[in-house]
Amino acid sequence: MARRKKSKAKKRHKIVKQQPIIIINEAPKGSPFWAVLLVPIFAWIKEIIQKFWG
């Protein structure tokens, strides 16, 4: 039972980790520089919104 639960948690984590990788892999076809910049800019905007709304 314990082993089964562990493998289930690992599978869930893999799916969550794969999503951003897929987005990054798709973006460079158009513009690799923007794909790298978009993630920090998005996180920065999120922080500013949280500061203003919080």
The per-residue pLDDT for 38 is 80
Interval 3-37: pLDDT, tens: 555 555 555 555 555 555 555 555 555 566 666 77
Beta-carbon contacts of residue 38 (< 8 Å; ≥ 6 apart): 27
What is the average pLDDT across 41-45?
A: 88
Please check the confidence at residue 47 and state whether its pLDDT lies above 90.
Answer: yes
**In a 3-state reduction of DSSP, which class is residue 31?**
coil
Please state the domain extents for the chain: 2-53
Higher pLDDT, 13 or 44: 44
What is the distance of C-alpha 27 from the center of its chain?
Answer: 13
Please check the confidence at residue 54 and state whether its pLDDT lies above 60.
Answer: yes
Question: For residue 12, which amino acid is it?
Answer: R
The overall pTM is greater than 0.85? no
